[in-house]
Amino acid sequence: NNPPWPAYRGYHEYSFAHATMGVRLPTILGKAIDDVVKTLNDEYEEERVVDLTECISRMEDLMDDLQGNSKLRPIIDDGEGDIPLWNKEIARYFRGKDFMNAPWLFAEAYKYRRMHECFSLSKYWKSYDVFFRQKCETFSRSGDAVFELSTRFAEPFRQADGATVAEQLEAKRLMFHELTQICLWGNSTDLSLLINMTEEDIKKLQSTGGDHLAATEQNILGNDLAKIWEYVSSDRFGTKEKGGRLDFVLDNAGFELYCDCVYADWLIQSGLCSQIRFHGKRFAWFVSDVTRQDFDWLLNSMVYGHRYLRAVFPNASDSDLASLKKLGLRWKEYVKKGQWVYEQHSFWITGYTYWQLRDEAPDLFIHLADSDLVVFKGDLNHRKLTMDCHVPSETPFPVAIGPLATEPGTPPIVSLRTVKSDVVCGIPAGKADQLDKDEPGWKISGKYAVVLLSEGRKG
Ligand code: F6P
Ligand code: MG
């Protein structure tokens, strides 16, 4: 079950793998250490202090391993559910490999697992998230776009009075088109790349107006939006009695998660979906990925966080804050009623790609096979779908994702991804060569995107 194309590796100097393994990861780890030192300064109980200094020492060891390009060692058994998966993979494929010559995707994921190990071995700090502060701060720097969406979507969705069936369907199609794009572009602001962004830069990336979206649609290089709508609005999606089940394999917390929820809210209200299942990570992952804590934080701060929100969004009006609360209350209702479900399978925090999903996590595969549509958000999920290798860019998406398109039982899959790393597929022949010439760096800027569908093979 391997693709015929080679994987990107840290020593490939022409690829983003090289800069990531050599520079970005040590920078991210350094910032993480600063975060823990901050926490340490606020701590006074001796046992907890000592415990935390040991976490910092383990992080410093990891920094030495990373910068010294050490060989990858097994993960120390901290009793967590993903350990057998990790150590099997290390033993089977990556024994003797180091950070630079192991496949980039694996080496990068391994670094985040080692970072988690620094805390999981402690007594008091097992679930400490070194990126939590950063994630909350970026949400608070997204004020304009947050309120633009909340004031627009707080009131329940209603079809225009007296509209014909055809007009109602057309209105839904337009909304679907717009909200899918909002959900897509919400992925531009992940923290691992945008650490140095100003508030102005973030604003530009997060504009959600109609004209802006029409302009940015030209930057969707492979665009199956029309096909996705055709499927989602057909009888094949869900049943006659109820809407479909849609699964989001989430990417980033903060603004992106907020956009995902705005989209999920409309999918329920429009009747297209009767259930949304969100899949998040069990621990801090690729800096900004969603954990349960982030999911809860978002909903709770929308509903209860007004004092806090007033401080972080000083320009927000009372009605802005009220709209956010209204949205948050409705979302909490969905959770209560089981229309929204949050899950966190161990497979999502391993180094395996989705080419191995059925073999390494058969329970998860069977679970996803029951979905009517699985939407994978973001760059890392796209790398995992395509096994992060040098696939020719005109390769159709269903070919590039291998078994997850062809194995019996696979559900329809969509990738909503702004392009932030080397692997690209599903775009017209010649486009990548032209961009290589005209806009070097286009693969890591987040300016371009793909919206790609694989129809799956439901039995
Ligand atoms: O380090 C590179 C990377 O793995 C890329 O996938 C991307 O640049 C970033 O980290 C994560 O992006 P996303 O949050 O969209 O998956
Ligand atoms: Mg991410």
- ipTM of predicted complex: 0.96
- Phi/psi for 247 (5° steps) reads -110, 135
- pLDDT score of 138: 80
- pLDDT score of 206: 60
Task: Give the separation between CA 294 and CA 280, rounded to whole angstroms.
Answer: 9
Task: Give the separation between CA 223 and CA 218, rounded to whole angstroms.
Answer: 9
Q: Work out the average pLDDT over 389-399.
A: 97
Whether 415 is in the pocket of ligand 1, judged by its Cβ within 6 Å, is no
With 70 as the cut, is the pLDDT of residue 133 above it? yes
Tokens of residue 440, six digits: 């070097």
Please check whether residue 341 is in contact with residue 276, taking contact to mean a CB–CB distance below 8 angstroms.
yes
Please check whether residue 35 is in contact with residue 133, taking contact to mean a CB–CB distance below 8 angstroms.
yes
Burial of 101 (0-12, 13-18, 19+ CB in 10 A): middle
> 343: closest CA among 367, 369, 370?
367
Whether 420 is in the pocket of ligand 1, judged by its Cβ within 6 Å, is yes
From the candidate CATH numbers 3.30.420.40, 3.40.50.10880, 3.40.50.1220, 3.40.50.2000, the one assigned to the domain spanning 132-454 = 3.40.50.10880
With 70 as the cut, is the pLDDT of residue 281 above it? yes
Task: Give the separation between CA 97 and CA 7, rounded to whole angstroms.
Answer: 14
Read off the pLDDT of residues 18-74 as tens digits, 9 standing for 90 and up: 999 999 999 999 999 999 999 999 999 999 999 999 999 999 999 999 999 999 999
Sheet holding 244-249, edge to edge: 220-223, 449-454, 413-418, 373-377, 244-249, 273-279, 340-343
Domain residue spans of the chain: 16-120, 132-454
Read off the pLDDT of residues 284-307 as tens digits, 9 standing for 90 and up: 999 999 999 999 999 999 999 877
With 50 as the cut, is the pLDDT of residue 211 above it? yes
The yes-or-no answer to whether 16-120 and 132-454 have a common fold is: no
Residue 192 CA to ligand 1 center (angstroms) comes to 7
Read off the DSSP letter of residue 372: S
Read off the pLDDT of residues 323-375 as tens digits, 9 standing for 90 and up: 999 999 999 999 999 999 999 999 999 999 999 999 999 999 999 999 999 99
Please check whether residue 85 is in contact with residue 347, taking contact to mean a CB–CB distance below 8 angstroms.
yes
> What b/e sequence results for 180-203 when a residue is b if at least 16 CB atoms lie within 10 Å of its CB, and e otherwise?
bbbbbbbbbbbbbbbeebeeeebe
- Rounded to the nearest integer, the mean pLDDT of the chain is 92
- pLDDT score of 161: 83
Task: Give the separation between CA 47 and CA 61, rounded to whole angstroms.
Answer: 21
Q: Please report the DSSP string for 128-185 in residue order.
A: --TTHHHHHHHHHTTHHHHHHHHHHHSSPP-PPTT--HHHHHHHHHHHHHHHHHHHHH
Task: For residue 252, give the ligand 1 atom closest to its CA.
Answer: 14
Question: Over pLDDT 70: what percentage of the chain?
Answer: 95
Pairing assessment for the beta strands 449-454 and 413-418 based on DSSP bridges: antiparallel
With 80 as the cut, is the pLDDT of residue 189 above it? no
Residues forming a β-bridge with 276:
246, 340
- pLDDT score of 10: 94
Whether 192 is in the pocket of ligand 1, judged by its Cβ within 6 Å, is yes
From the candidate CATH numbers 3.30.110.40, 1.10.357.10, 1.20.930.60, 1.10.3720.10, the one assigned to the domain spanning 16-120 = 1.20.930.60
Q: Which of 248, 250, 259, 421 to mutate to test the pocket of ligand 1 (most atoms within 8 A of CB)?
A: 421
Helix (H, G, I), strand (E, B) or coil at 37: helix
| Residue of 141 and 12 predicted with greater confidence | 12
Read off the pLDDT of residues 88-104 as tens digits, 9 standing for 90 and up: 999 998 899 999 999 99
With 90 as the cut, is the pLDDT of residue 249 above it? yes
Residue 340 CA to ligand 2 center (angstroms) comes to 21
- pLDDT score of 459: 66
Whether 115 is in the pocket of ligand 1, judged by its Cβ within 6 Å, is no
| Residue of 87 and 446 predicted with greater confidence | 87
Residue 254 CA to ligand 2 center (angstroms) comes to 11
